[in-house]
């Protein structure tokens, strides 16, 4: 498979994603500038964490205006796999590719810690290598990680099994402890925890690697 890591000015987790895919997963991976206008040759598009365009206005708001976003939205419509992590999740909500929004943590402070994450739905492109209700260890690092949506949207997320990951001990105040969701079609994932920082034992956990392995497994099935 061909993976693309889209880099924006201010991205700082792009190299983490690149090496997670290239070295830990063993797949082809290319860094693609946000100034590019085509993602046609890639099967999977990864949007990394960081502070795109300095997180001015709202996190991810200016990134939504970058040239690459037209191609990301087209890839989404074409059913390609898209993963937005941390700031990438914020970009996906700002671009309306995922519902809801990410707002400041309840304690108004930046949170950087390892968290227990519950796998709520293991029947997805992103989680088929996990067990349902399995507890995994992933790090978080964000100041605006509080996932918010209205009750109607929350009801839809639950009905469609779009809530993929939840926090065991909610570090930011997210509605219903939500840590990661998909779109209705199931090809787009947004999550605040960092699976790319948990792909080798030396990093503290290998639990994140199975997310990328799940994507590979889904591609083989298709």
pLDDT tens for each residue of 31-43: 999 999 999 999 9
Please give the average per-residue pLDDT across 160-188, as a whole number: 98
Res 58: pLDDT: 83
156 is catalytic: no
Q: How far apart are CA 44 and CA 53, in angstroms?
A: 23
Burial label, 96 (beta-carbon count in 10 A; 0-12, 13-18, 19+): exposed
Q: Is the dihedral of CA 162, 167, 110, 137 positive or negative?
A: negative
pTM of the complete model:
0.96
Question: Domains plus CATH for the chain?
Answer: 2-221 (3.40.50.880)
Question: What's the distance, CA 206 to chain centroid?
Answer: 17
DSSP code for 86 = T
Which one of the listed residues 13, 86, 144, 149 is annotated catalytic?
86
142 is catalytic: no
Res 56: pLDDT: 80
Which one of the listed residues 29, 142, 146, 194 is annotated catalytic?
194
How do residues 208-218 score in pLDDT, each as one tens digit?
999 999 999 98
Res 202: pLDDT: 93
Which one of the listed residues 27, 94, 115, 196 is annotated catalytic?
196
CA angle 152, 153, 159 (to 5 degrees): 90
196 is catalytic: yes
């Amino acid at each position: 498979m061909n993976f693309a890591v889209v880099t924006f000015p201010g991205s700082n987790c792009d190299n983490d994603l690149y090496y997670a895919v290239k070295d830990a997963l063993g797949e082809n991976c290319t860094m693609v500038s946000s100034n590019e206008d085509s993602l046609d040759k890639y099967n999977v598009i990864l949007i990394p964490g960081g502070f795109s365009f300095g997180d001015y206005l709202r996190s991810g708001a200016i990134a939504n205006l970058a040239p690459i976003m037209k191609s990301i939205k087209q890839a989404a419509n074409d059913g390609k796999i898209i993963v937005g992590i941390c700031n990438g999740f914020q970009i996906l909500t700002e671009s309306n590719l995922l519902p809801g929004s990410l707002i400041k943590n309840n304690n108004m402070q930046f949170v950087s810690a390892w968290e227990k994450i519950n796998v709520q739905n293991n029947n997805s492109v992103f989680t088929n290598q996990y067990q349902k209700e399995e507890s995994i260890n992933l790090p978080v690092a964000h100041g605006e990680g509080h996932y918010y949506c209205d009750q109607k949207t929350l009801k839809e997320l639950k009905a469609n099994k779009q809530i993929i990951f939840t926090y065991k001990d909610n570090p930011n105040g997210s509605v219903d402890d939500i840590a990661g969701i998909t779109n209705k079609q199931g090809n787009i994932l947004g999550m605040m925890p960092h699976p790319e920082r948990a792909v080798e034992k030396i990093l503290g956990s290998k639990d994140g690697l199975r997310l990328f392995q799940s994507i590979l497994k889904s591609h083989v099935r298709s």
